[in-house]
Amino acid sequence: MLIKKPSDVRPSEITPREVYQSRRQFIAGAGAALASASALALPSAWLDERGYRADDPIGEAMTPEADAKRYNNFYEFGTDKSDPAAYAHEMTIDPWAVKVDGLVKNEKTFGIEDLLSGIDMEERIYRLRCVEAWSMVIPWIGFPIKKLLDKVEPLGSAKYVAFETLFRSSEMRGTRSLFSSIDWPYVEGLRLDEANHPLAILAIGMYGDVLPNQNGAPIRLVVPWKYGFKSIKSIVRIRLTDKEPPTTWNLLQPSEYGFYANVNPTVDHPRWSQASERRLPSSLFDPNRIATRMFNGYEEVAPLYAGMNLRRRY
């Protein structure tokens, strides 16, 4: 039996409920210990069963786990791809709370266990396409953002969702750098209808385990049809608003990074082409270059942008 699925998520992207049950049990059982990856480690049989080294259901090889966990963008810990894996462990993630406020009926600050309670976890295998023109295929564990928004009941006047990352400079060496031109905290946003799309998830795990800090523990956004910078990590606040919220990369360089940031091979970045991407792992001798697809291959989101000029609203 499949997890009851929204009509526009491909069945092949959803893990059967039986497989998921065990994951749910230990997430529920070890809720208080979410911070500790070892407390949530999956039985190795489960991993064998999933065969993470095998081809994934979207028909593209999954990125080896080690690559997804050591080649990261998380500027709070530095700008080098290896900085997050080296330094993100300095971030304390237990306890963790997420404030959900703004134009909602029930403003609330959720402890992480409270936030997850009553929500079924799903595995979603998604392509992640960075605006820098590299990509990966990652098995996330999470749930549609809509399930959290339903808990707080957005008001009719809410049109956008603003997200904010933890900002704790004592634990985030990248934010202390004199070279950092980012105005912390890292912020991102979606239109409410984008956030409500069943493909948009909040992830708490990857590769059958909790998220490592460098990938955005304990909870991050994953919006697979948009460039990776929209998928904000280590979220502490979600605010419903009636105005388009500011976003970090757009504030830094509006001519290069738009609010929408939908993956689009026909609209180049001012400094490089977006027509193709390096699927990681790749090397000088085996660049593994593939064509980039509209909406990163998630064409089912196209109706969200009907009538919009995607060249202008990049």
Please give the residue ranges that form the binding site for ligand MTE (CB under 6 A).
Answer: 72-76, 128, 130, 165, 186, 215-216, 228-229, 231-234
Which residue, 85 or 103, is less far from ligand MTE as judged by CB? 85
Tell me if residue 213 falls in helix, strand or coil: helix
Which residue, 75 or 314, is less far from ligand MTE as judged by CB? 75
Joined together, the tokens standing for residue 240 give 């419903």
Q: Minimum CB separation from ligand MTE for residue 76, in Å?
A: 6
CA–CA distance from 265 to each of 35, 59, 127, 243 (Å)?
Answer: 38, 21, 15, 28
C-alpha neighbours within 13 Å on the C-beta side of residue 98: 24
C-alpha neighbours within 13 Å on the C-beta side of residue 154: 23
Q: Minimum CB separation from ligand MTE for residue 249, in Å?
A: 8
Which residue, 251 or 308, is less far from ligand MTE as judged by CB? 251
Joined together, the tokens standing for residue 155 give 């008001």
Which residue, 168 or 293, is less far from ligand MTE as judged by CB? 168
Q: Minimum CB separation from ligand MTE for residue 290, in Å?
A: 17
Residue nearest to ligand MTE (CB): 228
Query: What is the largest distance, in Å, between two alpha-carbon atoms of the chain?
Result: 56
Which residue, 96 or 186, is less far from ligand MTE as judged by CB? 186
Tell me if residue 111 falls in helix, strand or coil: strand
Listed residue (143, 167, 134, 141) closest to 236, CA to CA:
167
Pairing verdict, β 122-129 and 134-144:
antiparallel
Which residue, 149 or 187, is less far from ligand MTE as judged by CB? 187
Q: Minimum CB separation from ligand MTE for residue 1, in Å?
A: 31
Which residue, 103 or 200, is less far from ligand MTE as judged by CB? 200
Which residue, 154 or 216, is less far from ligand MTE as judged by CB? 216
Q: Minimum CB separation from ligand MTE for residue 44, in Å?
A: 24
Q: Minimum CB separation from ligand MTE for residue 297, in Å?
A: 17
Q: Minimum CB separation from ligand MTE for residue 203, in Å?
A: 9
Joined together, the tokens standing for residue 67 give 């690559």
Pairing verdict, β 209-210 and 122-129:
unpaired
- What's the CA gap between 165 and 29, in Å, rounded? 27
Q: Quick count: other Cβ atoms within 10 Å of Cβ 77?
A: 26
> Which residues 6+ apart lie within 8 Å of 16 measured at CB?
1, 2, 3
- What's the CA gap between 165 and 149, in Å, rounded? 18
Joined together, the tokens standing for residue 9 give 């998520």
Strand-pair partners of 213: none
Q: Minimum CB separation from ligand MTE for residue 303, in Å?
A: 26
- Measured in whole angstroms, the distance separating CA 124 from the mean position of its chain's CA atoms is 11
Q: Minimum CB separation from ligand MTE for residue 183, in Å?
A: 13
Which residue, 15 or 165, is less far from ligand MTE as judged by CB? 165
